[in-house]
């Protein structure tokens, strides 16, 4: 009942020409894999170009979003602007936003609610640092990120929200959480969701795993019962490796 979602986060990479070519290739793969959803989050400046080649099945997403529709918010992007460029989803609370740009749970919650208000599906990223894991604080951190991130968020359709569990120590490092470790965190997050929402809603929300997902580890990760997809950075930047991730067994 949870359609797998493979999401590529391009971060601050690729020229316009490279973005267009990669999106065209990914759109072809998405069209050939009707049983799974495929999303990419290009840099904002590439969205218009990518949209021209994205076709019907490739979902476009923003990498972040402001809670306001318009106004004096230098450097921010409005949910309406993302919608206008064809985005259906948006990443919020990515660990790079949290740790490099100091976005806290309260701000991330405002972004998430702003996205929902305008009909964008937010992907709420959560995850512990290595220091937090080493001091046995993982579950505490996830609990706080989920509760505060979803503060005042009501949900009548589980497809309107996606969670991405991304242990910070696994992002861009080549280290992946063990499949048991990942599955354990996903089960914990799903229990948190069950405390916040009705049973059938909590059971229907997709929880992606992220952090060095690649062609070599995607099959094993996707075989876990509560891993419903992947948020992929590095391996989403080449058509070949992202295709293999999308075509997980
Ligand atoms: P990575 O990035 O796949 O390069 O580790 C994942 C992410 O930042 O979402």
Residue 16 — pLDDT band, cuts 50, 70, 90?
A: very high
* Residue 230 structure tokens: 């992947």
SS3 249: coil
Query: Both ends of the chain: CA-CA distance in Å?
Result: 17
Q: What is the pLDDT of residues 195-208, one digit of tens each?
A: 999 999 999 999 99
CA distance 30 to 241: 14
pLDDT tens-digit series, residues 27-40: 999 999 999 999 99
Ligand 1 in contact with 149 (CB < 6 A)? Answer: no
C-alpha of residue 5 to centroid of ligand 1, in Å: 15
* Dist. CA 80 → ligand 1 center (Å): 26
Q: Is the CB of 171 under 6 A from ligand 1?
A: yes
Per domain, the residue ranges of the chain are 5-246
pLDDT digits (tens, 9 = 90+) for 124-170: 999 999 999 999 999 999 999 999 999 999 999 999 999 999 999 98
Strands 5-9 and 87-92 turn out to be: unpaired
CA distance 135 to 239: 38
Nearest CA to ligand 1 atom 7: 233
Architecture of domain 5-246: Alpha-Beta Barrel (3.20)
C-alpha 197 to ligand 1 mean position (Å):
28
Any ligand 1 atom below 6 A from CB of 233:
yes
Which atom of ligand 1 lies at the shortest distance from residue 9's CA? 9
Its pTM surpasses 0.95: yes
């Amino acid at each position: 009942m949870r359609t797998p979602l493979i999401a590529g986060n391009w971060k601050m990479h690729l020229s316009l020409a490279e973005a267009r070519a990669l999106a065209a290739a990914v759109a072809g793969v998405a069209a050939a894999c009707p049983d799974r959803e495929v999303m990419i989050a290009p840099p904002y400046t590439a969205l218009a170009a990518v949209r021209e080649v994205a076709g019907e099945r490739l979902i476009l997403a923003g990498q972040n979003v402001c809670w306001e529709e318009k106004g004096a918010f230098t450097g921010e992007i409005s949910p309406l602007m993302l919608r206008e460029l064809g985005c259906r989803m948006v990443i919020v609370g990515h660990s790079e936003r949290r740790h490099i740009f100091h976005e806290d749970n309260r701000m991330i919650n405002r972004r998430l609610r702003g996205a929902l208000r305008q009909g964008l599906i937010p992907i709420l990223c959560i995850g512990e640092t290595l220091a937090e894991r080493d001091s046995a604080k993982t579950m505490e951190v996830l609990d706080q990120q989920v509760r505060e991130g979803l503060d005042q968020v009501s949900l009548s359709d589980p497809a309107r929200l996606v969670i991405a569990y991304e242990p910070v120590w696994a992002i861009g490092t080549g280290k992946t959480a063990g499949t048991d470790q990942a599955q354990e965190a996903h089960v914990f997050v799903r229990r948190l969701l069950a405390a916040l929402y009705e049973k059938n809603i909590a059971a229907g929300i997709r929880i992606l795993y992220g952090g060095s997902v690649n062609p070599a580890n995607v099959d094993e990760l996707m075989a876990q019962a509560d891993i419903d997809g992947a948020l992929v950075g590095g391996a989403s930047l080449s058509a070949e490796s992202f295709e293999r991730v999308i075509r997980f067994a």
